[in-house]
Structures are given as C-alpha cells and as structure tokens.
Amino acid sequence: MKFVLLHGPSWDAGDLKAVLDAEDIERRAITSLSAGLVDERPTVLLVDDALRRLLGAPGIRAAADAGATVIALGFPGETDIPAELPGAEVVSSFLTYPPGRRQLLAALKGGFREAAARLEASRSRAEVAARSREIMELTRIGVALSTERNYDVLLEMILTQARRITQSDGGSLYLVEGRDSPQPKLRFKLTESDTLPNTGFVEFTMPLDHASQAGYVCSTGEPLVIDDVYFLPPDVPYSFNRSFDERNHYRSKSMLTVPMKNHKEEVIGALQLINRKRDPAARLASPEDVQQQVIPYSRRTVEIVSALAGQAAVSIENSILYEDIERLFEGFVTAAVTAIEQRDPTTFGHSGRVATMTVGLAEVADRATDGPFKALTFTREQLKEIRYAGLLHDFGKVGVREQVLVKAKKLYPPDLSLIKARYAFIKRSAETDYHRARADYLAERGNEGYQAFLASLDQQHRTELEGLEQFLRTVLQSNEPSLLPEGSFEELLAYAERKFPDIDGAPQPFLSDDEVRYLTIRKGSLDEAERLEIESHVTHTYRFLLQIPWTKELSQIPLIAYGHHEKLNGSGYPRKVPGREIPVQTRMMTISDIFDALTASDRPYKRAVPLQKALDIMHEEVKTGMLDADLLRLFVDGKVFERLA
C-alpha cells in the first residue's frame, strides 16, 4: 500500500472503493487516533460530522501534526468550513454536502499529494537535522581530539568516540610504523569492548600486507565493510582469526575497518569497529543477543567514521609532533642545566633535585584536604610549568664570573698563595736574622758568654717562628667559610697590625686591607660585592627566560623562577617583595632550594648538614617570617625530600 485513508466507522466508500483500491490506498475506519496510526506513508484523514464530534479539535490537530492531510465533509446548509468546526485551522480541504464522486476523488488525490509533499518535507527536515547533529558531533569530537596532548589518552578517545557514534560493541586501533622503511609494520595498539571490558591486551606488530583486514585497509587506503566476518567471500585475500572469539566465547559479526589518513592522504593507521548494535547499552553475552542486536554498518556510518578517522589521523600526527617538540625542549632544558653545572660542578644535580621536590610539594598541596591549600589544584600542564621553572631557576649563573661562582674559600687561591709566600719570606728573613745575630756576636765578642747568648737567641727565634706559624694557622682558619655568622677575628686583626721589612727594608703589613676584608667575612665565602654578583643570577635567569616564546600553559615560568630567593618578610632578593606578591609555586621552590642547599653533599665552601638540622634551620627561618609555615609543614609531613632517593 502506497497511501493511507483514515475515516470514521460509518463512512462508506461506495462506488469509490474500486478507484481507491486501484490507487493502492489502504482504508482504515477509526474511532480514535492512537499512537502510530499515522505511519510513514502519505495519509489523509477524512472527517465527517460524526468523526469531528468523536475526535474533537485535539484529535484532529494531532492527526495534522503527525503528518496527515485533513479533509472535512460538509453537511446540508454548510457552504464553507464552519467556524465551530473543531480543528478548523488545520483543515486542508472542505467539501460541501453532498460531495460528488469526482469532487471527492479530486480532493482525495490532492490531499494525498499534499500529504506526500509534507511527508517528504518532514523527511528532509529530519535528514537535515540528523546531518546537522552528525556535523556538530564530529565537530565536538574534533575539538576534543585537537586539544588532547596526552598521546595515549588521545588514542583511547579516538577509539571510544568511534565506537560511541556507531553504537559498536567493540573496536581496535592499529598504527603504521616505519612508513618510510622497506618493510613497514602494523602495530595493534589498542582494543576496547563493552561485552568484554576486562580482556587482557598486549601490543604486538604484524606485517603490513593484505592478510588481515587492517593490513588490507592500510595497504589499499579503502574502507572495508563486512556484514558477517564468519562468511567471507572465497576470493578475498584477507581472513578472520577466530581465536579471540573462541577464547572468550564471543561472536564477532559485522565489522567496519576504516583507514586513518593524514592531510597528505598518507595512511597512518586504521580504525576497526565490531558488532554495530541496535541498542548501544546491550551486551552480547550469547549468540541470541548477537542475532537480535547486531546489524550491518551502513554507508552513512562508513562516511561518518571515515570523517572521524581523518580527524583522528591529523590529531595523532599533531600529538606526535607535540611530543617531538616537547622532547626537543627537554633536550634544550637538559643542555641548559648541563651548561650551568659545568660552570659550577660542585652543585651538580641541584637543579634537578629542586625541580623534583618542588613538583612533589605541589602534588602534596594539591591533595591537601584542610588548611589554606585545600582548594589549591594543579593541572598536568601547571606541574610541567613548575618542573621547567625548577630546572631553569639557576640558569642565570652563566652570567656570573666563574671565579666568583666557584669560590670555595674567602680568599681566591692566588691571594692565599701570596700570603703564604709572604709568610715564607718573613720566616726566611727571621732565620737570616737569627744566623746573622750569631755571627755578629762571635765576630765581636768571641766565645765569651756565647752559650748564654745562644740560649736566649734560640728562645727568641723559636717564639718568633711559633708566632709566624700561628699567623699562618689563623689565616687558614679564617679563610674557611662558615655557614652561620658566628666567631670573632681579634687575633687576625692583631696580625694585620704587625709589620715586616720588605726586601728594601720598607715596613709592610702582614695582611693588606683587601685580605683582611675577605678574611673577616662572617657568613659564607663572599664579600658584599661578590654576593651581589651572585645574587644577580636571578635577574639574569628572569631576563633569559623572558626571551623564550613560551606557550600559554607555560607562560608563568619566568615569574616562578624569578622569586626563588625572595622571602615572605621582604628580606630576600633581588626585588625584596613581600609574601603576598610571591606566587605559591615560587614559595614551594624556595623551600626546595634551601633544603637542597643545606643537605647537598659536601661542597668546598661548606659541609652537608644532616636532615634534622636542615629542617631545624628552616623552621627558624619560618619563625623569622622568611618561609611559608604551611608549605614547610606539607614539605615535612609529606616527606617530599624522600623523592630524591
């Protein structure tokens, strides 16, 4: 039947019956408009007075809304659609009483033409709406794929979305490896299944040839649609391996394999979908389920999956390119850290340890359920930003003079050598004076009283030599840097007041003013000018990092690294900013940097501090308002320092 005529139970087609039957029109006598009465065929509702009273305006409108063309039959005295006719606004034609056979037939044919046009328009609208939804869905998926940076997550997303939009029970993803090599391979990269979600999966490679469906598709670049993989045509080169089905008591039936092509039309892999289902939530636990639920993949499905496969290929290549760029940048960062550590080998590994602990502290803070950081969260990109800032925080040391950078003692080696040479000269002069005094005594007085004189001279000489030895010991002791500002330099200053005659007899001080200035440094091994030069490395780092065109996700790296020597009370450097202006990532780095500086293996200018003493020193800095107390608590409670092990 091509058409449907709905009418009241009392209407008699009469002599129209043969004509209606000849036109392939199904006639239905109705008493109500039940759901599904108006189907996908052109339908006319013929309303007489009895039917209009029976259906009322809601029923007539419902028929029109469902796609039926409404024709009203008039009664004696009615020459037009009466105003009180229920649903009059949806009536397409009105026939005066009594309708003639030819008039009624013409009205019915016109009604069927209108119903057919309305049905076609409705189908077109539905098709347009479906295509619009498909486009929107593909666009949404494309946006999601283009923004995902994690390669493994991206592959899972591609397969999951392909299965979802096709209502597939399972699927697999294959990638071509070594496209430019003489013998490229096909890697079975990923598989998913609704019915068998916990099936063990192991990646493996297979030849890229026509023996498998995926290999065939990747070799030919054409999609492959199979209604039942158990009944392949005898002349196809590929086969289906039933071992998975037999091992898991599964039944693979319909299959769609689509090549993934990049923007150069190169095949980089294949999407394989299995068992398209009527109900996407159904599980195919038995052959009966497969028989009832599994349907073939339609041509439209092939088009949709092919479009998705194209997006997937571009996203995969973009992800690979992104990873290549990340590896390139990792290499740059590694080279930069190596350059720093080659200039100052004594701090080898410092940048890496600071980065590791800072990221660790950020992760601990991210997991905090109470305290001031319970609402703090870090994304994967933000943790990467923190790591890079930690690795590069000391890069500015390349702008510091190497002799200052590696200065282990208060005096530079040449300066200490000069003092030792001066000590040797004074000692040699004392010995010369000693022997000259003996010779002069013998020449002037002979042996008379010589022994007593010699005993006194020896005692005086020994005292002088002991004083010189003490002078050298004092210099060497004072030359050692101290971790904290402690100790006094009275003895050293006393030696600085002493004079000795130089080779011309002119009096010279045991120690010059510059030597005294260096030797009386109270903390560390640097004087004020050298300390400022070392501190300038922070500014050098900041200016260097500003020159790098960071992505939006990494744009805060220069600022995070810039403040790692700032203190909450404003006593840090180089800007002396207060705590409210120091980013939390920087405050984390400051704690990690200080801890590593205290506990790192022995350096020429200091010895390593035991763990507990280092933490005690840091807690003292908390008390003086330098460090963040809450972050230090998380650092200690979370045992972030154990990550270095």
| Bridge pairing between strands 507-509 and 499-501 | antiparallel
- In Å, how far are 169, 291, 309 from 257, measured between CA atoms? 14, 21, 10
Residue identified by tokens 């006393």 is 494
pLDDT greater at residue 487 or residue 73: 73
Contacts with 447 (C-beta within 8 Å, 6 or more apart), sequence order:
none
Residue 393: the pLDDT is 93
Which class does domain 3-124 fall in? Answer: alpha beta
pLDDT of 509 reads 92
Least confident of 61-70, 263-272, 293-302, 389-398: 61-70
Instruction: Please determine, for residue 223, whether its predicted confidence score (pLDDT) is greater than 50.
Output: yes
What is the pLDDT of the chain when averaged over all its residues?
87
Other CB atoms within 10 Å distance of the CB of residue 210: 16
Residue 549 pLDDT > 80: yes
Which of 50-59, 430-439, 465-474, 505-514 is predicted with the least confidence, judged by mean pLDDT? Answer: 50-59
Q: Is the pLDDT of residue 200 over 80?
A: no
Buried b (16+ CB within 10 A) or exposed e, 370-402: eeebeeeebeeebbbbbbbbbbbbbbbbbebee
Mean pLDDT of 481-485: 60
Question: Which pairing describes strands 294-295 and 267-277: parallel, antiparallel, or unpaired?
Answer: antiparallel
CA 296 to chain centre: 38
pLDDT digits (tens, 9 = 90+) for 356-397: 999 999 999 999 988 899 899 999 899 999 999 999 999 888
pLDDT at residue 483 in the model: 53
DSSP string of 563-604, one letter each residue: TTT--TTS-SSSS---GGGS-HHHHHHHHHHHHHHHHSSPBT
| DSSP assignment of 33-92 | --TTSS-SS-EEEEE-HHHHHHHHHHHHHHHHHHTPEEEEEP-TT--S--TTSTTGGGEE
* Parallel/antiparallel/unpaired status of strands 25-29 and 224-226: unpaired
Reduced to 3 states (helix: H, G, I; strand: E, B; else coil), residue 221 is coil
Average pLDDT over residues 531-555: 90
Q: Which residue has the tokens 């995902």?
A: 148
Between 508 and 407, where is the model more confident? Answer: 508
What are the sequence ranges of the domains in the chain? 3-124, 151-310, 344-405+529-644, 413-524
SS3 321: helix
- Reported as a pLDDT band with limits 50, 70 and 90, residue 37 is confident
pLDDT over 70 percentage in the chain: 96
The pLDDT value recorded for residue 453 is 87
Residues with Cβ within 8 Å of residue 329, at least 6 apart in sequence = none
Q: What is the pLDDT of residue 324?
A: 86
Res 590: pLDDT: 96
Is it the case that residue 637 has pLDDT exceeding 90? yes
Q: Residue 484 pLDDT more than 50?
A: no
- How many helices (H) and strands (E) would you count in the chain? 20, 14
For 151-310, which CATH superfamily applies? GAF domain (3.30.450.40)
What does the angle CA 632 – CA 636 – CA 642 come to, to the nearest 5 degrees? 125
- Report the pLDDT value the prediction gives residue 352, as an integer from 0 to 100: 92
**pLDDT(244) > 80:** yes
Q: Which CATH architecture has domain 344-405+529-644?
A: Orthogonal Bundle (1.10)
Would you say residue 261 has pLDDT above 70?
yes
- Kindly indicate the confidence band of residue 504, based on its pLDDT and cuts at 50, 70 and 90: confident
The single-letter code of the amino acid at 45 is: L
Whether the predicted pLDDT of 401 surpasses 70: yes
Of 77 and 611, which is predicted with more confidence?
A: 611
Specify the higher pLDDT residue, 166 or 78: 166
**pTM above 0.85?**
no
pLDDT number for residue 214: 94
Read off the pLDDT of residues 74-132 as tens digits, 9 standing for 90 and up: 777 676 776 666 667 788 888 887 788 888 888 888 888 888 888 888 888 877 777 77
- Reading phi first (left if > 0) and then psi (alpha if -120 to 50, else beta), residue 5 is in beta
Instruction: Report which of residues 524 and 466 the model is more confident about.
Output: 466
